[in-house]
Amino acid sequence: MARNRKYSKTNMTRPTKAPGPKRRRQLEHRRRLIALGVSEEEVSKMNPKEIRDLLKRPAKVQKEFAGE
């Protein structure tokens, strides 16, 4: 007797991301951007996806925000 597809796709097989570690990761990303030279006000206005996109190329971000 085969198992249903429903049971092989539940969170029992792959857990969801927990909110605590997720918040911690996002806070680390924000701190990394600030260390690269982006102002805190700009970082606070960004959503997590924008922050992740900027952190993909840290040298470019550092060069772009060095003049400020």
- What global pTM score does this model have? 0.72
Phi, psi at residue 66, to the nearest 5°? -70, -30
pLDDT tens-digit series, residues 28-59: 999 999 999 999 999 999 999 999 999 999 99
Whether the predicted pLDDT of 1 surpasses 80: no
How many Cα atoms occupy the beta-carbon half-sphere of 22 within 13 Å? 6
